[in-house]
Each structure stands twice: as structure tokens, then as C-alpha cells.
């Protein structure tokens, strides 16, 4: 028996390959399926099943393309309804992969169809459980993403409590827990950077598995959840309804565009998405473009801050165009006209203006404040509570649509995050929205803490 975790850092997502006696199953595959096909070919195995733990909201699964290419059966848990051919399993149903078996454990709570898959090895020993978004390392799935008109997030949290306590916690402490996500995913609030663990250790260290009443569990799990990204419902619809083959998406979105054509598209309302590094963006970019760099958590932030159906043109470092298009397709962003051929260099060579995002070192921040600039902290609430500049409001990037309209676009603002990636995103969004005086702090809060003249507060005490 062979198990391989295929972890994608950008989405903090884990897919799984399981093989026994030349037969294989894949759990929760990503949109690009070549790595799975290559793994099957390398190992000489035939794919029998594609298991989906639920209808994912944070990425478009590769299950349909993988089934098209291999003929494998797509399996969902009880209650799943899709607009393509699937097998809807019953609770406790077992599927053979060679001499191993996967048993379906229906665990509603994150979503109604959410299910875990218990791997029973050829010797009949319960070896591992693939928990999807029901149980993470250090956390549990958030129950506020699948609210129905007749089902509240509190009711879903109660269902999650029952699923965990009646279906998962009775399993052996030696069983390995393989979750669907790790730290950085918006599908939970306090996931560990570790990507697997024993169930026994999770019973000791996972806050949500500690002894507590159902009422306490509901309150604890719902408390402190960040606003879910706006693209989540759209991805869930895609995963339920189906999508175009990824090969077709790549072919039509990888169109070379001249500077003249990009200028015409901008005039038509197309948004320029600049995927280069933050350092390159602040030095020079197309006016009105938004910076979300490929070297950060690119896809989740695209989904969080951009309108889902907004048509895009890409500015990329030469050679990274395919990567950008693919990573957008992972979250269903497929309205891409193409990319600027030659990158920002060709735009500048055409004689069109190139703008900069003003950036200062933390050592100069006190002077900016003295001159009347308002500092904005765009980190998440938990980060802010752990320490922040006195007097700086917390306006998280995740929620920028809710608060940007409350600001005067003619006043001077200084934006910062933890290290600089998110503040450049926010600065570019503000400039694109018509703000006239926006400054970014290089190095973010990490650099600010090193400046003795800046008063730093936490929720507990002033730490100066």
C-alpha cells in the first residue's frame, strides 16, 4: 500500500494519492491534473476512484477533468447532488482499491455532504482517515460556509460537533489524520503548519477536540472567523455544476497582447492584474492596475479582493504567464483576455505612463504621521490584537470592500501589513479606486516593531 500527500502551498491544500496492488484512488485533486497522471504512469497504476470530501468552496477541483482522462468514478458522500455523473455513497459504504479499502464516514457540519474516508490496509487495520474540511491539524472546519435558508451556522456547528464526537473521536488514537488544508487556508481559523498528525495527539492539542459541551463548541468554533472570501460561493457552484476542460482554458487565456491592445481593453473596463513582485510593482506599474504577486498567496487573495466575473489582463514576469493563468483557473477566474507581451517593459516602451506606489522605510513613519497621514493596518484581527501601532485602525484587507467607502480619497494614508505583500495589494486597490495620496511601509509591522519611537500596543498592555 502506498500513500502520497500532494500539498500545494499557495492554496494550503492537500490532495492524496492512495495505491494498492496496481489500483489507485485520488482524494480532492486540484484543477491541474498532469501531476496525478504522471504519478499514475510512473507507478504503473490504474485510477479507479476520485473521492471528493465535499463541494469545495476555496478551489475548483480537478475531479471532472481527471475522470474524463482516466474513466475513474467520482464519489461523493451522502446527499451530494451534481450536474454530472457521480456515485453518491452511503454512510459506511466501502470501496476496494486493490487489497485496501476506503470506508465512507458521513460527517456533516462544514457542509451537509461533507465526508471523511477511512483507509483500511490489506491486513484489515484502520490506518488513516482523510478528513477533508471536517477536521484539520489544530482546528476544525468552519461551519459558516454552507448556510441554507433553513439552516443557520449555529445549526451546522452543532452538526459538526456531533460528527466529530460520534464519528471521528471514537477511532483509534494511532490513526493518522490527513486533512484537506493547512495553515493559511481561509477554511479554518487556527490550523497548524503541520499537514498530518495522529488522531491521539490531536485529541490532546486541538482546541476543538477538548472536553466541552455542544453549546461551548458552537461558540468557540464560530468565534473569530474571518469573513469568507467572496469567491467561495462561486467555486462551490462550479464544483457542483461542472466546468470547461483545463486544456481549453489554458489555450484561450494565454493570448499575447500588445501594449496598444491592452490600452484598448483598459478603456473598455478590463482590469490589469500585475502578478510581479511587490518590489517591482512599487517601482513602476500600469496606472489603475492591481498588484497580487505570484510569489505570495496569489490565488486566495485574487479571490478575496477581485470581483469574480471581472475580465482581466495580466502583467507577468516573462516566462510566468502559464503559471498565472493556471493559478487563476484553480479558483475559477477564467475571464482572462491574455497577457501583456514583453511585460511592463513593452508598456513603457510604447510611451505610455508608468506610475509608482510611494514606499517608505519604517524609520520614516513617525514623520509621515506628524505630517498628518493616517496609518491603516490591513492585517487580520488576530494579528492586530497581538500588537499594533497606537492609533492605527484595523481595516483588514479581507474586508476592504466594507470599509474603503468610509475613507476620504483625498486624504493622505499610510498602509502596512506584516511584511509588505498585503499592504501593496491594498495600496494598489486604493490607487485604482481614485485615492490620490497612498504610501506603503516597506517591511510592514515587522520593521515597525524595531523602531523605538513608534508606540506599539497589544490588547493586553502597551509594550512601547
Catalytic residues: 417
4 phi and psi angles, rounded to 5 deg: -135, 125
User: What is the distance between the alpha carbons of residues 217 and 86, in angstroms, rounded to a whole number?
Assistant: 34
Q: How many CB atoms lie within 10 A of CB 268?
A: 9
113's CB contacts (< 8 A; 6+ apart) are 54, 55, 76, 77, 78, 79, 80
Which conformational region is residue 109 in: left (phi greater than 0), alpha (psi within -120 to 50 degrees), or beta?
left
Place of cell 500596543: 457
Strand arrangement of the beta sheet that strand 87-88 belongs to: 2-8, 13-20, 23-27, 46-51, 73-76, 87-88
Contact present, 400 and 378 (Cβ < 8 Å): yes
Query: In the 3-class helix/strand/coil scheme, how is the chain assigned residue by residue?
Result: CEEEEEEECCCCEEEEEEEECCEEEEECCECCCHHHHHHHHHHCCEEEEEECCCCCCCCCECHHHHHHHHCCEEEECCCCCCCCCCEECCCCCEEEECCEEEEEEECCCCCCCCEEEEEECCCCCEEEEEEECCEECCEECCCCCCCECCECHHHHHHHHHHHHHHHHCCCCCCCEEEECECCCCCCCCCCCCCCCEEHHHHHHHCHHHCCCCHHHHHHHHHCCCCCCCCCHHHHHHHHHHCCCCHHHHHHHHCCEECHHHHHHHHHCCCEEEECCCHHHHHHCECCCCEECCCCCCHHHHHHHHCCCCCCEEEECCCCCHHHHHHHHHCCCCCCEEEEECCHHHHHHHCCCCCECCEEECHHHHHHHHHCCCEEEECCCHHHHHCCEECCCCECCHHHHHHHHHHCCCCCCEEEECCCCHHHHHHHHHHHHCCCCCEEEECCHHHHHCCCCCCCEECCCCECC
User: What is the distance between the alpha carbons of residues 8 and 413, in angstroms, rounded to a whole number?
Assistant: 35
Amino acid at each position: 500500500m502506498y500513500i502520497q500527500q500532494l500539498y500545494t502551498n499557495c492554496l494550503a491544500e492537500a490532495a492524496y494519492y492512495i495505491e494498492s496492488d496496481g489500483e489507485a484512488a485520488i482524494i480532492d485533486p486540484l484543477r491541474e491534473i498532469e501531476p496525478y497522471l504522471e504519478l499514475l504512469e510512473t507507478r504503473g497504476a490504474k485510477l479507479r476512484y476520485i473521492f471528493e470530501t465535499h463541494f469545495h468552496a476555496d478551489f475548483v477541483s480537478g475531479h471532472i477533468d481527471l475522470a474524463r482522462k482516466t474513466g475513474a468514478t467520482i464519489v461523493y458522500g451522502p446527499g451530494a447532488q451534481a450536474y454530472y455523473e457521480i456515485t453518491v455513497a452511503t454512510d459506511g459504504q466501502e470501496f476496494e482499491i486493490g487489497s485496501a479499502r476506503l470506508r465512507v464516514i458521513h460527517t456533516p457540519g462544514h457542509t451537509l455532504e461533507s465526508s471523511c474516508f477511512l483507509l483500511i490496509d490489506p491486513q484489515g487495520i484502520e490506518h488513516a482517515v482523510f478528513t477533508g474540511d471536517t477536521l484539520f491539524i489544530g482546528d476544525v472546519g468552519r461551519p459558516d460556509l454552507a448556510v441554507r435558508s433553513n439552516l443557520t451556522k449555529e445549526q451546522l456547528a452543532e452538526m459538526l460537533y456531533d460528527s466529530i464526537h460520534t464519528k471521528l473521536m471514537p477511532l483509534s488514537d494511532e490513526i493518522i489524520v490527513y486533512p484537506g488544508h493547512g495553515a493559511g487556508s481561509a477554511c479554518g481559523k487556527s490550523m497548524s503548519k503541520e499537514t498530518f498528525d495522529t488522531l491521539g495527539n490531536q485529541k490532546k492539542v486541538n482546541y476543538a477536540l477538548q472536553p466541552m459541551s455542544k453549546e461551548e463548541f458552537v461558540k468557540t468554533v464560530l468565534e473569530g472567523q474571518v469573513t469568507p472570501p467572496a469567491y467561495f460561493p462561486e467555486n462551490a457552484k462550479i464544483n457542483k455544476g461542472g466546468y470547461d476542460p483545463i486544456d481549453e482554458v489554458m489555450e484561450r487565456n494565454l493570448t499575447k497582447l500588445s501594449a496598444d491592445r491592452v490600452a484598448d481593453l483598459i478603456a473598455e473596463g478590463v482590469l490589469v492584474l500585475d502578478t510581479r513582485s511587490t518590489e517591482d510593482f512599487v517601482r513602476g506599474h500600469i496606472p489603475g492596475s492591481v498588484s497580487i504577486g505570484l510569489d505570495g498567496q496569489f490565488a486566495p487573495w485574487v479571490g478575496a479582493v477581485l470581483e469574480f466575473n471581472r475580465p482581466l489582463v495580466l502583467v507577468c514576469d516573462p516566462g510566468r504567464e502559464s503559471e498565472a493563468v493556471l493559478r487563476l483557473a484553480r479558483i475559477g477566474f477564467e475571464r482572462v483576455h491574455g497577457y501583456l507581451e514583453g511585460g511592463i517593459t513593452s508598456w513603457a516602451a510604447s510611451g505610455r505612463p508608468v506610475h509608482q506606489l510611494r514606499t517608505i522605510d519604517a524609520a520614516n513613519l513617525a514623520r509621515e504621521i506628524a505630517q498628518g497621514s493616517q496609518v491603516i493596518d490591513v492585517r487580520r484581527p488576530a494579528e492586530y490584537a497581538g500588537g499594533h501601532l497606537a492609533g492605527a485602525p484595523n481595516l483588514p484587507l479581507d474586508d476592504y470592500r466594507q470599509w474603503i467607502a468610509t475613507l476620504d480619497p483625498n486624504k493622505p494614508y499610510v498602509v502596512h501589513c506584516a511584511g509588505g505583500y498585503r499592504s501593496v495589494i491594498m495600496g494598489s486597490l486604493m490607487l485604482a479606486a481614485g485615492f490620490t495620496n497612498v504610501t506603503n511601509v516597506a517591511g510592514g509591522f515587522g520593521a515597525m516593531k524595531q523602531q523605538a519611537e513608534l508606540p506599539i500596543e497589544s490588547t493586553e498592555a502597551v509594550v512601547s
